Amino acid sequence: MATISCGIDFGTSNSSIALANNQTIHLVPVEHAHVTIPSAIFFPEQSAVPGFGRAAATSFLSKQAGRYMRSLKRVLGTSLVNQGTLINGKVIKFDSIISLFLKNIKEKATTLVGQDIEHVVMGRPVHFIDHDPAGDKRAEQELRAIAQGLGFKDIAFQFEPIAAAFAHEVHIPNEKLALVVDLGGGTSDFTVIRLSATYIHKKDRLQDILANTGVRIGGNEFDKNLSLAAIMPHLGYKSTYGEKNLEIPLKLYHDLSEWSKINFLYTLKIISQTRQLLHLSHDKKKLSRLLRILEQETGHTLLTRVEETKIALTTADLYATSLEFVEQNLFIHTARTQFEEAIADEVTKIANAASECVKLAGIQPKDIELVILTGGSTEIPLIQDLFKKLFENAALSDENKLSSVGLGLAYDSHRKFG
């Protein structure tokens, strides 16, 4: 029986799995005909069977009773992994929740090939956590343990931007010096690498990889900044209360703007405190909107609207965000310029990390011949303009933004296990 290996891209926002079977490398449909699946899970109150991906989002947004979770990758390496969370009356650790999600993906692949798959290359960011080598090592160990629990016997890891490079390499007949820009939901990663279709079967690519850098900034930060700049002021953000004109606690709004923290806001203590603040508030109309979101547990719906706004502003100059689930006829108009101003500091950090990668490679920006853009955030016009300016001599390639990492991991698995 032929050796079958796979690559798994467990992303903050989207995930995929690709198979390497002899000389065939291909993505697996993981949700109906889709070869990528949103990294989301929904636990219904009345069922022991969770939903995944788009189905999970649909269940939650249709107001089915249950628990919705996204951006699970961001808990790896942090104290939250062992802390766990309450689901249907039981405390479940986050590694178990991630395992359920990845098990669903693996089962789609094993069903397709009709046999178990024991060899995998898992994608990982250059840094799970910035400036924390111990946490970074811990995150990889946790992901390895999850993969072992799923039945994988041979487990390797590859940096996600390198995997994306491998996926593009098959279309490059002659050697090119490339910069891979992988802007995911949780991290931005960069690799300078020599690419050529003639290198695909090389066992050792270390000499071709000149440098790697990464920073914990991604689409989630863009969502958060857009939320705080454009949406949260309409919910009382930076408004005041009481005789001393104290500011409403900012943490409420910051946590409501992060996928991984929203569920922790729906406690009796926080809701009670917000009611007390409303009584003393100087802008009761706006703060009452915040309280309504907490009481009705619609924080994920709110951040989904923010994400929709971000995506819309990649092509539109102005977008009306509907918050009618909070208040009738409540629409917030946001301009692309406002979004760009909100993420300007993060974009500067991304530019600095990319430039640092080129510097570590011992080359000049003018030497880069190809910039490979992968990850949903690379569709943002400000990001595209940035890399055109930084690397004026380079061609830009942005095919398969959401699936190139998974495909490249499968190429790497074939190289390692085939």
Q: pLDDT per residue over 377-415, tens digit each?
A: 999 999 999 999 999 999 999 878 889 999 999 999 999
Residue in 1, 394, 414, 14 with CA at minimum distance from that of residue 182: 14
Q: Is 88 left (phi over 0), alpha (psi -120 to 50) or beta?
A: left
188/378 Cα distance (integer angstroms) = 10
| pLDDT higher than threshold 90 for residue 13 | yes
Rounded CA separation 356/122 (Å): 25
Give the per-residue pLDDT at 235. Answer: 98
Model confidence at 80, pLDDT cuts 50, 70, 90, reads confident
Mean pLDDT on 342-359 = 98
Is the pLDDT confidence value at 22 over 80?
Answer: no
Q: What is the DSSP letter of 34?
A: B
Report the amino acid identity of residue 126.
V
**Mean pLDDT score of the chain:** 95
pLDDT of residue 1: 58
Give the per-residue pLDDT at 84: 82
* pLDDT bucket at 47, cuts 50 / 70 / 90: confident
Rounded to 10 deg, the angle between the 219-226 and 299-312 helix axes is 100
Local confidence band at 6 (pLDDT 50, 70, 90 cut-offs): very high
DSSP 150: T
Across the range 361-367, mean pLDDT stands at 97
* Continuous segment of H or E residues that includes residue 179: strand 176-183
Do 283 and 239 touch, CB atoms closer than 8 A? yes
Instruction: Report the pLDDT value the prediction gives residue 348, as an integer from 0 to 100.
Output: 97
Helix-, strand-, coil-residue percentages of the chain, each rounded to 5:
45, 25, 30
The CATH number, out of the four listed (3.30.420.40, 3.30.1600.10, 3.40.50.620, 1.10.1050.10), of the domain defined by the range 4-173+399-417:
3.30.420.40
What DSSP string runs through 356-390? Answer: HHHHHTT--GGG--EEEEESGGGGSHHHHHHHHHH
- Phi, psi for 203 (deg, rounded to 5): -70, -35
| Window from 76-85, 318-327, 359-368 with minimum mean pLDDT | 76-85
Q: Look at residue 254 and tell me whether its pLDDT is greater than 70.
A: yes
**Residues 6 or more apart from 234 whose CB is under 8 A from it?**
286, 289, 323, 330, 332
Quote the pLDDT of residue 381: 96
Instruction: Judge whether residue 2 has pLDDT over 80.
Output: no
Structure tokens at 141: 């160990």
34-38, 165-169, 202-206, 211-215, range with the lowest pLDDT: 202-206
Q: Which two tokens stand for residue 26?
A: 């291909």
The residue whose two tokens read 């992303």 is 11
Contacts of 118 (CB under 8 A, 6+ apart): 151, 152, 153, 154
Predicted confidence at residue 200, as pLDDT, reads 83
| Over residues 310-320, mean pLDDT | 97
Which range (13-17, 40-44, 45-49, 68-72) has the least confidence? Answer: 45-49
Q: Say if residue 111 is exposed, middle or buried (CB neighbours under 10 Å; 0-12, 13-18, 19+).
A: exposed
Cβ-contact 192, 211 below 8 angstroms: yes
pLDDT of 192 above 90: yes
Lowest mean pLDDT among 110-124, 136-150, 186-200, 394-408: 394-408
- The reported pLDDT for the residue numbered 190 is 97
pLDDT at 202 over 90: no
pLDDT band at 162 (very low <50, low <70, confident <90, very high): very high
